[in-house]
Amino acid sequence: MMESIIKKAQQIRLAIFDVDGVLTSGNLIYGPDGLEYKSFHVHDGQGMKYLQKTGVMIGVITACKSKAVTVRMQDLGIQHVYQGTLDKTIAFADLKNKLHLKNEQIAYVGDDLPDLPLILQVGLGITVPNAPAIMQKHAHFITKNQGGNGAVREICELIMSAQGTYETILNDYLQHAAQDSSLSERSNG
């Protein structure tokens, strides 16, 4: 089973994420001012940055329309953001055509029924463990981590590992740490 997932992940050139329940826990928080607040996990954001660094593009398709999503995606350098999209297949078709990709080259991560058509259509359909059973039944892969709590990072690392690019990201940090250690030793010695 995992071999099949790795083969699918090797072909991915675009990873698309839903927001509520995937990039967030799915909890909706409204302040006394009536504004909606969202909480994003820093590890998920880092994973998205790393994945982009390896050449895999990232997109977001969400039914919600939120300033918090706009700000977070800008912070992460994500350009392909579709908000307020009730029929996600329309945004998906637009993005796929704009980027000249085939379904096999796209991963989609969603957690509820509006996401199901895309999970069935893409090369790598993914959901989270707290998604309804029907989503888990049709997804190629179910993350170990919950939405909003490391699921996106897990997916990014899966794709990078399958494509052999995760080692490059790790090595950049390991080499930097080794250089810092070497400089520290020289200044202390």
pLDDT band at 181 (very low <50, low <70, confident <90, very high): low
What does the alpha-carbon distance between residue 134 and residue 147 come to, in Å, rounded to a whole number? Answer: 17
The amino acid at residue 132 is P
Query: Region 37-58: what's the mean pLDDT?
Result: 97
Give residues with Cβ within 8 angstroms of 24, minimum separation 6: 38, 39, 40, 147, 148
**pLDDT single digits (tens) 128-140:** 999 999 999 999 9
The CATH number for 137's domain is: 3.40.50.1000
Q: Cβ(110)–Cβ(18) under 8 Å?
A: yes
pTM for the full predicted model = 0.91
pLDDT computed for residue 79 by the predictor = 95
Distance of CA 48 to the CA centre of its chain: 6
Boundaries of domain holding 127: 2-188
Query: Region 1-11: what's the mean pLDDT?
Result: 94
Report long-range pairs for 52-57 (Cβ below 8 Å, ≥24 apart): 52/76, 52/77, 52/78, 53/169, 54/160, 54/163, 54/165, 54/168, 54/169, 55/13, 55/165, 56/12, 56/13, 56/14, 56/15, 56/159, 56/160, 56/163, 57/13, 57/14, 57/15, 57/99
Task: Say how many domains are in the chain.
Answer: 1
pLDDT computed for residue 83 by the predictor = 98
**pLDDT single digits (tens) 53-106:** 999 999 999 999 999 999 999 999 999 999 999 999 999 999 999 999 999 999
The dihedral over CA atoms of 64, 69, 70, 71, expressed in degrees to the nearest 10, equals 160
Distance of CA 75 to the CA centre of its chain: 14
Instruction: Quote the percentage of the chain above a pLDDT of 70.
Output: 93
3-class SS of residue 141: strand
- Joined together, the tokens standing for residue 12 give 């991915």
pLDDT band at 36 (very low <50, low <70, confident <90, very high): confident
What does the alpha-carbon distance between residue 6 and residue 143 come to, in Å, rounded to a whole number? Answer: 14
**pLDDT single digits (tens) 130-175:** 999 999 999 999 999 999 999 999 999 999 999 999 999 888 888 8
The amino acid at residue 181 is S
